[in-house]
Homo-oligomer: A and B are copies of this chain.
Amino acid sequence: MTIVACQQLSPLIANLKHNIDLSVVAVSEARAAGGEVIVLPELVTTGYAFESRAEAKSVAITPSNIIFEKWRSAAGPGHYVIGGFVEDGPGDSVFNSLAIVGDDIPTTIYRKLHLWNTEKSIFTAGSAAPPVIQTRFGMLGAIICYDLEFPELTRLMARKGTQLLTVPTNWPLVERPKGEWPPEVIIGMAAARTNRMAVACCDRGGTERGIEWTSGTSIISADGWVVADSSECTLVIASLDLELATDKQISNQNNLFGDLRGDIYGP
């Protein structure tokens, strides 16, 4: 069993110093609670609702920034942290990126492929597939927010062996019927179940420049059920059997990948 911890935080827009401290304390708390794989929100170092590319650029950092060493150190030996940041790019460009850090892996950067709405005016989209890396707890993957809504991508991650898909997010609140999960969580539950892969979505909370956030952090088991969630800015933690994701046989005669009909819809 692996203890997965998501820290639903409310960073301050464009306040790098504040958010670095906030995130490092959050990683320490998650570790103290037993967290082995610790997930932080999208853009946790900066907040989300930038007024311009220049404002995002002013808080952009590179993978050599000290924050990643701080996350690694706060997480403790043999543990991993996945969190989002504004990555400095060539010229005036910036990326909506995440880092995966741990003491037995190289720091791994991923640049968001699917940009949401006004992000397209701020960020340059990534051009490489998301990472799937071998860790002490099995194969760990990471994508960002709107990426989750493309089943082609979650299938790709599963076919590359992902046992735990981590998803730093900033979900703007949208209407939903009473009693329903947020739509993004439903999409995550379906991605988990159709691929037998655990999914840990770490959302943010609070409000920012008029945007209200869903606060929809959800840890979803490989059979597609939410096992931990909270609508508060708090730690969400669960113990997951990641071995389940290595076995795609879902009945005597059905294998999730063996049943794919590449002849009909492509490989």
Contact = CB atoms under 8 A, between A and B. Distances in A.
Interface of A: 113-114, 116-118, 120-121, 127-129, 146, 149-153, 155-156, 176-177, 179-180, 183, 186-187, 189-191, 193-194, 223-225, 251-254, 259-261, 263-267
Contact of A265 (B121, B152, B252, B263): B152
Contacts of A190: 151, 186-187, 189-191
Contact of A266 (B176, B223, B267): B267
- Pick the most buried of A129, A223, A254: most chain B CB atoms within 10 A of its CB: A254
7 contacts: A113-B264, A114-B259, A114-B261, A150-B259, A180-B225, A183-B224, A187-B194
A112 to B, nearest CB: 11
A18 to B, nearest CB: 29
A117 B253 contact: yes
Contacts of A176: 225
Number of copies: 2
Given A117-B251, A117-B254, A251-B117, A264 B153 contact: yes
Given A149-B193, A151-B194, A155-B265, 11 more contacts: A114-B259, A114-B261, A129-B265, A150-B259, A150-B260, A151-B190, A153-B264, A153-B265, A156-B264, A183-B224, A189-B190
